Amino acid sequence: MKIRYFDNAATTRVKKEVLEEMLPYFTENYGNPSSLYSIGRISKKAIEEARKKVANLINATPNEIYFTGCGSESDNTIIKGIAYSYQKKGRHIITSQIEHPAVLHTCQMLERKGFEVTYLKVDKEGRIDIDELRNSIRNDTILISIMFANNEIGTIQPIEMISKIAKMYNIVFHTDAVQACGNVPIDVKRMGIDSLSLSGHKLYAPKGIGVLYVRNGIEFEKFMDGGHQEKNKRAGTENVAGIIGLGKACELANHNLEEHMRHLTELRDYFIQQVQEKIEGAMLNGGIENRLPGNANIAFPFVDGEALLLNLDAKGICASSGSACTSGSTAPSHVLSSIGKSDELARSSLRFTFGEENTKEDIDFLVENLCEIIKKLKSN
């Protein structure tokens, strides 16, 4: 059965060009980058080339890029790293209610250690209120961590406004850009971003490789002790092939960004229009403005989301209820609750996230099957 994949926010397929670039680093250039002989030096040089490509995608300087094991590690590293480095100045952190668990649970862990955290509310589209942010700032606020784009409803936050406010009060601003990188333009210099997390497997590179960007001049305590890799901030022998793959994926993303965005926006808007036209009561969760090009999160009132998902799976269609990390749990999505959706509506919602391989014909197949399955479920 042909698989139609609409869950690109959960993970993406590794691109052929990315895999090809990685392969020699498993079998030929397998030297440890810390070794002095030739195959070690080849690995080291390739890592530095990849670092430049990642830096280029977000307009950072290469020495501001730290390779990590995943987006979650990047979030953990900087939030805990800033908390521990700045605790003499203060112990207050500001974030939002709709962050990924990698941020939320890290903040909750810090609360158990005596830090205080403000979780900003969001409006019905999933955007924070800038005045609420400003009013939440205290003398002891050391970090603002607000995601660039949400993983469930795709809402893009007013990043430049947040960074301006952070700068005004001399507070470090971190953004979890795991869903945004490679899908929308990001320029850390122009946008005034002090720190950013990204993850390889969301942009057609493999799983198990992430990046933490930290602006030069910002101190943060390291999270992993051991060897001196990554400027002595992240111990552990580098995932060389993963790093090379991520470098290539960033280079491709940078090159194709405009076309990629146009393609995904077209698919998303066509899907939303078709669903609203053909399925009674179907509605978009979150707004259409300030939304990731490939994200459509739809509520199908009076339909059980899990049942819909399983029926879609039987047709080879992959979608998601909530985020990949929260689906499987029976609790309704914290993101949908935060934008004011009832538990019932949240349980009737599915997330479809489009990727570069999807076509208009895929969307027609999806909509046709949604119509049939929903009709069947409603008549049961």
Residues that bind ligand PLP (CB under 6 A): 70-72, 75, 100, 102, 147, 151, 176, 178-179, 199, 210, 323-325
* Min CB(222)–ligand PLP separation in Å: 18
Q: Which of 178, 353, 201, 354 is nearest to 263 (CA)?
A: 354
CA contacts within 13 A on the Cβ side of 171: 31
* Min CB(182)–ligand PLP separation in Å: 13
Q: Which of 187, 220, 213, 183 is nearest to 198 (CA)?
A: 213
Is residue 181 part of the annotated active site? The answer reads: no
Q: Which is nearer to ligand PLP, 8 or 311 (CB)?
A: 8
- The rounded distance, in Å, linking the Cα atoms of 239 and 245 is 10
Residues listed for the chain: 380
Q: Which is nearer to ligand PLP, 11 or 276 (CB)?
A: 11
Instruction: Answer whether 41's CB lies under 8 Å from 49's CB.
Output: no
* Min CB(168)–ligand PLP separation in Å: 26
Q: What are phi and psi of 7, to 5 degrees?
A: -135, 45
Q: Which residue is nearest to ligand PLP (CB)?
A: 71
Question: CB 236: neighbour CB atoms within 10 A?
Answer: 14
Structure tokens at 186: 């990001």
- The rounded distance, in Å, linking the Cα atoms of 42 and 45 is 5
Q: Which is nearer to ligand PLP, 118 or 320 (CB)?
A: 320
Q: Which of 70, 318, 325, 371 is catalytic?
A: 325
- The rounded distance, in Å, linking the Cα atoms of 348 and 307 is 9
Beta pairing partners, 156 = 149
Beta strands in the chain (DSSP E): 4-5, 65-68, 92-96, 116-120, 141-145, 172-176, 195-199, 210-214, 283-284, 295-299, 317-318, 349-353
Tokens 């009561």 belong to 281
Q: Which is nearer to ligand PLP, 177 or 267 (CB)?
A: 177
* Min CB(332)–ligand PLP separation in Å: 18
- The rounded distance, in Å, linking the Cα atoms of 316 and 291 is 27
Q: Which is nearer to ligand PLP, 102 or 363 (CB)?
A: 102
* Min CB(72)–ligand PLP separation in Å: 3
Q: Which is nearer to ligand PLP, 101 or 287 (CB)?
A: 101
* Min CB(348)–ligand PLP separation in Å: 22
Catalytic residues: 325
